Amino acid sequence: MRIFHIVGNEASELAAVPFELPAKGFLWLACTRSYFSEQLGSLQLALQKLSGAPLVDLHVSDLLNAQLPSHYDYTSQYDLLVIRRLASTPSQAGTAALAATRRTAAAKPLPDAPRISTTPVGFAAWERVLLSVHPEDCTVRDAYARRLLQFAKAGTPPPPGTDAPDLDQISDATQERLAREDKAFRNPGNSASPGGMQPIRLPASPADLMMRTVNIIVDNYLDLRRELSRHLDQWQSALLSPRKRIANWQALLEARLTLHQLDEICEDQRAAVQDWVDALETWPQPEAPSAQRELEALKVRSRDVLEHIERVVHHVRRLEQSTETAVQMHFSVQSNRANDIMRTLTTITAIFLPLNLIAAIFGMNFEFIPLIHKEDGFWWAMGVMAVITVALIGFFSYKRYLTRMGR
C-alpha cells in the first residue's frame, strides 16, 4: 500500500492512510489486489471519512475480480474505471524472445507468437481521492510513483543519465510517454524556476492522475503492436517465399488468435474510455478560470488516451487483414507451383509417348518387322526417336510449356 499527497507542484508519500483530508490537494491510495482484499474494512472506513462515500459492494467485487474486462461505471460520488494491462511488458518478455529468435533464425525461422496475458487495474476517483487497485507486480505504478516523487522533490526532471531501476522494467513506449510527461508537466504560464527551468505541473486532480496512469498502460500495447508486426512480417516473408515449406501451421493459428485476443481487449478498453469521455461532457462547467482549464486539459488527455487505443485497434485489424491476404497468396502460389509441376510432368510424358510407341512396336513378337533384321536398323530407330524428341522439345519450348515458374 502506497499513499501519496499531491498539492500543486508538491507531492509526498505518507506512512499510513489518513482519516481526514488535507486542507489542499488530493490523496492517491495505491494498493495491490491482495492488500485491498485483506484490508477492505479499514479502507472502506477511510474512504467514508475522506470522501463521505465508500465503495459500493458491486464495485468492490469488480476491483477484486481478476478476470473482469475493461469497463466504466459511476455513482453520484465517484467514477470507476477498470483497464486491463499487460501482465508482462514486451520489453521484458517479447524483446528477449525476439532476440533469441534472431540468434536461432537458421534453426527455427518461424517462432511461436507472443502470448498475451493481461490483468485488470481498477481506479475509483472521488473529487479529492483516487483509489487504484493493482496486480502484485505493477511496475507501472511504482515507476510513475518514483517519477512523481522525483519531480516533486527536485522541481525539475531527473538529470540525463540517471535512470531509475523501475523505468528499465517498463516498455519503451511507456518510457517515451514518461519523457513526454516531462514536457507536459511544465507550466509555461509560470515564471521560470532557478536555473532557467520551468516549474513542473503535477496532476491537478484524481481524474487527471488516473488518466495519466491509464495512458501509460495503453502505451504498453503500442510496444506489443510493434512486436507483433515484426513477428508477422517474418511469417509473411515465409509464406510468400517459393523455397520455404511451412510446416508449423499451429504457430500461425496461434498468432491469429493472439491478434483476435488483442482486438477484443482493445475494444473493451475503447468502450470504457469512450464512456468516460462521454461522462466528462456531462460534468458541470466550473466558474473559476483555473478549474475550467483543468477540466479542458482532462478532456484533451482523455481523448488522447482514446486515440491511442484506436490506433492499436486499427493496426491490429490491419495485421489481421495482412495475415489473411498472406495466407491466401501462399495457397495461390502453392497452387501455381503445383500447376507448373503438373504441366512439366505432362510435357515430359508427352515427349516420351512416341518413343514408347516406337519401342513397343519394335518389341512385338513378330518374325518379320521392317528394319528388325538390318544391320543399321537400330541406328535408324534411334535417329527417328532423337528427331521426334528434339522436335517435341522445340515445340513445347516455343509454347512455353517448359518455362520455369517465376520467369
Q: Enumerate the H helices of 185-288 as residue ranges.
A: 206-240, 249-281
Beta bridge partners of 140: none
Helix 206-240 vs helix 94-103: crossing angle, to nearest 10: 20
Can you tell me the distance from the alpha carbon of 192 to that of 205, in angstroms, rounded to the nearest whole number?
Answer: 23
pLDDT at residue 360 in the model: 84
pLDDT at residue 16 in the model: 87
Length of the chain measured in residues: 407
pLDDT at residue 247 in the model: 59
Q: Which residue has 516531462 as its cell numbers?
A: 182
Can you tell me the distance from the alpha carbon of 11 to that of 148, in angstroms, rounded to the nearest whole number?
Answer: 7
Given its phi and psi angles, is residue 361 left (phi above 0), alpha (psi -120 to 50 degrees) or beta? Answer: alpha
Can you tell me the distance from the alpha carbon of 97 to that of 112, in angstroms, rounded to the nearest whole number?
Answer: 10
pLDDT at residue 246 in the model: 64
Radius of gyration of the chain (CA): 35
Closest CA to 249 of 58, 112, 403: 112
Domains and CATH numbers, the chain: 2-333 (3.30.460.20), 338-398 (1.20.58.340)
Q: 74: which residues sit within 8 A by CB, 6+ positions away?
A: 80, 279
pLDDT at residue 29 in the model: 93
What 3-state class would DSSP assign to 4?
strand
**pTM given for the model:** 0.68
Tell me the three cell numbers of residue 366: 513378330
Given its phi and psi angles, is residue 57 left (phi above 0), alpha (psi -120 to 50 degrees) or beta? Answer: alpha
Helices and strands: H and E segment counts in the chain = 10, 7
Can you tell me the distance from the alpha carbon of 197 to that of 11, in angstroms, rounded to the nearest whole number?
Answer: 18
pLDDT at residue 248 in the model: 64
pLDDT at residue 197 in the model: 39
pLDDT at residue 327 in the model: 76
Instruction: State the number of CA atoms in the 13 A half-sphere of 40 facing the CB.
Output: 12
Q: Dmax of the chain from CA atoms?
A: 125
pLDDT (tens digit, 0 to 9) for every residue of the chain, 407 residues total?
A: 889 999 888 888 888 888 888 888 899 999 999 999 999 999 999 999 998 889 999 999 999 998 889 999 999 999 999 999 887 544 444 444 444 444 433 334 455 556 778 889 999 999 999 999 998 877 778 878 887 777 766 554 444 433 333 333 444 555 555 555 444 444 433 433 344 434 457 888 999 999 998 988 888 887 777 777 777 777 777 776 766 666 566 667 777 777 788 888 889 999 999 999 999 998 888 888 888 999 999 999 999 999 988 888 888 888 778 777 777 777 777 787 788 888 888 888 888 888 888 888 888 877 777 877 777 888 888 888 899 989 988 888 888 777 654 44
Q: What is the 3-state secondary structure (H, E, C) of 289-309?
A: HHHHHHHHHHHHHHHHHHHHH
Tell me the three cell numbers of residue 207: 481524474
What 3-state class would DSSP assign to 250?
helix
Q: Give me the DSSP letters along 124-184.
A: EE-SSEEEEEE-TT-HHHHHHHHHHHHHHHHSSPPPTT---GGGGGS-HHHHHHHHHHHHH
Can you tell me the distance from the alpha carbon of 310 to that of 168, in angstroms, rounded to the nearest whole number?
Answer: 27
pLDDT at residue 161 in the model: 38
